[in-house]
Structure 1
Amino acid sequence: MSLLNIERYPVFLCSAISVVVALAVLAGWVTDISVLKSISPGLPAMKPNTALAFVFAGVGLLFAARVRPNKRISYAALVCGIAIFLIGLLTVLEYAWGWDLPIDTFLIQLPSLSEAGVRIGRMSPHSAFNFTLVGISLISISAGFNKLSGALTSVVFVVTILAMLGLLYGAERLYGISQYNSMAVHTGLLFLVITAGLGLVDDRSRLSRIIKSKGAGGSMGRRIIPLVLIVPPVIGLILHAGFRAGFYDASFRLALTVGCSMIVMSIVLYKFCLSLDAIDFKRGQAETELADKEARYRELFDYSQGLICIHDLDGVLTTVNRATLRMLEYTEEEIVGRNLRHLVRPEFFPMFDAYLRQVTHEGLASGLLELISKSGNRVVLRYNNVLATEDGKAPYILGHAQNVTELLDAQKQLKTLSLTDDLTGLYNRRGFAALAEQQLKLEMHTGTARGLTLLFADMDGLKAINDNYGHENGSEAIKALGRLIKSAVREADVVARWGGDEFVILTIGAKGESPHMMVERINVLLTEYNANSGLPYGIACSIGVAPIDPDGDETFEEMIAAADEAMYVEKKRRKSDRNNINTLARPKPSLNSETTRST
């Protein structure tokens, strides 16, 4: 509900008590039930207009305790305050100027004068004065002048306490001027209830802070205030009863009253001091433990090998540890107050913005972030950051990260080594198989099909080169053949050393181009190389061609086998040719060939 809040329940309770008791008094006047009007025979009665003013006070207090400002609610509290003010002020003027206004009897028709000539329906001047101040207090709260309200409420409290003490001890001038125009017991009690509600309605007031505080002041206040308000009057009442019974004279009563009050207050103060001492001791222990924890945290923060930092929701760094400074090569003065975004490459700005959104909205974010050190070095961090919130402080991001730059570089290097051939720098069998499988999957979709052809090449005469010129020259010949094949194909094509002196080529996007054209390019490059290399041997190879049908049933291994078979057919054909392959060991023979396998 818009009007209710659990922290305002004491105010709502005060409001409810005031309204219920006041309505009960009005019902007592209507039904002529004496106990509702004066609690006990012989005690002053609460007047009808007094009860009406308490109804206005309770309702006004309820509206003043609103949670959210609202013009209608503010106006309602203001109207109640004006009504209370007018009732109190007019009654005060009646006493001051001797007026006889109808406000005393307009609710309930009562005899205007008693036998002694006293106005029967008129409230006591003390009550009228209090209502005048209560009305102004409610008006002040509605207008936002809470300090004025607090001062007026304090005056009402003092007047009421004096009136209640007058009732207890029979001091008539403190609570009224006659039996008919005195403050009733429940009138005084309701004034105390209303002053408590007015004191608590403003969360910033001193009374409200003391009552609601969880600290030492609030704890002591909730204990001592009731004792101060209850114990001395009770002691005085008991001793006054003994005096009236004739047990001792007035001097003895006074001395006993002062002595008992001193004893009781000393006990209260002693308990208060013990409680404060215990609180101070616990606070000292807590501060020591906190200091130890902060020292351990600072050591962990400073000497941790991982990056630890704190930045705000915009990415501005507020705290960094030593490892961060070493990692990014900045001093603390250079980096604190700087936005983390300034350490990110521009191409990674969207990734950094996405990180800020995630950690702000989800409270947790993890991943990789690439930064640039002061010297321009690349630093890759694996981070696990959380959103932290503290009472009275703006939320911030607590970041913890590890430098994984070398790890990622090593993984990349390892991956490269596992997919490439050490001798030629081309893909090895594993690398070729991975790329070829990927291209075959793309070829099965109409939107990404580009046409594939598989070529299998085997070097001719490698044994003769090894036997006549040594294995180092044989290795150089393999490297040279790999370079020539790579330069003959397009950038998109995949070339790999299949093993030994065997090479495999996957042409991508070769629709409309005859495989013979690619074989011819390889042969031309081989011829040019043999003519210009200045080596005592030439290089040649046999090439088999196997077109790939992505809609067929052949597996990748079967396609390789088909290309390998076509290559051996070509090799046998070359062996029966006049230029036998054994002549390769002589200076610079031309040993080029092309595949003629058809589909």
Structure 2
Amino acid sequence: MKTKKVSPKTEIFPFQKKFLESARRYQDLLEHLPVGVYRTTPDGTIIEANQSLVLMLGYANSVELKNVNVKNLYVKREDRAEHLRKLDASETFFAEFELRCRDGKTIWGRDYPRAVFGPGGKIKYYDGILVDITQERQSEKRLASALKKLGRSNRDKKEMIRRLKSLSLTDDLTKLYNRRGFQVASRQYLELALRNKTKAFVLFLDVDNLKGTNDRLGHKAGDAALVKLAEILTKTFRKSDVIGRMGGDEFAVFPIGISPQGMNAALDRFKAQIEEYNATPGSPFRLSISAGVAGFDPESPYTMDELLLRADKLMYEQKRLKQQAGGRN
């Protein structure tokens, strides 16, 4: 008579179960994010790709996409080379470029990559997030075409051009430049600084705990805080300086032709303006600002995107130090 062999039962401990559940939730989150998430190698091999990226590029599944080398997705091969060059220099940044889908159609993507280093300091992976900005690019193209058609017209049409430009470049709430407007204006001055071999600075700011103001006093108060910050920035800096609301509670300033001493003086004026407002009796809210300043050296130049990213990192470092000291972010 044969005896039935019984396999030993594998026991899963509570901490292992909690870890597995956490891993499943994390994987589920990645798969359902509305943006593409990926991991690739320096030679272009796709190791990981979430479902949103698969659908964005028109592939049937992740296995099919992983059989494609990243280099073959770029419409312009030089975009890939420029990508890697920038990552070697700064580890993180963002860029916009065209990608080719499975059916041959092209899309515009905004990529937020990060270099992951392995032993010996060599880059092992590139992790990143890809956002489809095709509609945004198409809108800009239609706007440019409309402006070109109206460019040779009479005074009424010139007024229409002015309005179209202001709609596309100006933030409705603060009347400052929006992100696109700031980029357009600041890049021109940055190119001028490069040609003239002059140094420049970018200031990046964030309103601390704006969510708390919204929760306690309502969104109108939060909007009022953003408007008040815009007013203080306008008073602090000159009319010729480029000031923009980059989105949400983030602002940026590119002072034109300012020296290091002048930049320090401007920051002192800005701090004094914030303190003066907070000391005003009856103010419905207090303003707390975190800021970072990145310098531009024509001998070792950076793009405006790279300067903003560096200033943004310094700003978050200041915010982190505030948190450690007992402040709120």
Corresponding position of 1:444: 194
Q: Out of 155, 164, 168, which is 1:418 matched to?
A: 168
Corresponding position of 1:433: 183
Mapped contact 1:494–1:507 kept (Cα < 8 A): yes
- Indicate whether 1:516 and 2:272 are aligned: no
Where structure 2 has 5 or more consecutive residues not aligned to the other structure, the ranges are 1-150
Corresponding position of 2:227: 479
- Indicate whether 1:461 and 2:206 are aligned: no
- Indicate whether 1:532 and 2:280 are aligned: yes
In 2, distance between residues paired with 1:436 and 1:530? Answer: 30
- Indicate whether 1:581 and 2:328 are aligned: yes
In 1, distance between residues paired with 2:292 and 2:195? Answer: 27
Mapped contact 2:233–2:270 kept (Cα < 8 A): yes
Q: How does 1:119-518 map to 2 (within 5 A)?
A: 404-446=154-196, 449-513=197-261, 515-518=263-266
Distance 1:475 1:490, change over 3 A: same
Mapped contact 2:225–2:285 kept (Cα < 8 A): no
Where structure 1 has 5 or more consecutive residues not aligned to the other structure, the ranges are 1-380, 383-402, 583-599
In 2, distance between residues paired with 1:524 and 1:437? Answer: 29
In 2, distance between residues paired with 1:484 and 1:497? Answer: 13
Q: How many residues align?
A: 180
In 2, distance between residues paired with 1:515 and 1:577? Answer: 26
Query: 1:492 offset after TM fit, Å?
Result: 2.2
* CA deviation profile, 1:379-436 (whole Å, cap 9, x unmatched): xx96xxxxxxxxxxxxxxxxxxxx7322221111111121111000001111111111
Mapped contact 2:292–2:312 kept (Cα < 8 A): yes
Query: 1:555 offset after TM fit, Å?
Result: 2.2
In the superposition, the TM-score normalised over structure 1's length comes to: 0.29
CA RMSD across the alignment: 2.2
SS of equivalent to 1:467: helix
Q: Which has the larger radius of gyration?
A: 1
Mapped contact 2:207–2:250 kept (Cα < 8 A): yes
Letter paired with 1:431: G
SS of equivalent to 2:185: helix
The structure where strand makes up a greater share of residues is 2
Corresponding position of 2:98: none
In 2, distance between residues paired with 1:558 and 1:461? Answer: 26
SS of equivalent to 2:261: coil
Mapped contact 1:450–1:510 kept (Cα < 8 A): no
In 2, distance between residues paired with 1:551 and 1:431? Answer: 27
Corresponding position of 2:7: none
In 2, distance between residues paired with 1:576 and 1:470? Answer: 27
Letter paired with 2:288: A
Letter paired with 1:563: A
In the superposition, the TM-score normalised over structure 2's length comes to: 0.51
Quick one: higher RCO (CA 8 Å, sep 6+), 1 or 2? 2
Query: 1:533 offset after TM fit, Å?
Result: 5.7
Query: 1:489 offset after TM fit, Å?
Result: 1.3
In 1, distance between residues paired with 2:310 and 2:189? Answer: 18
Letter paired with 1:568: Y
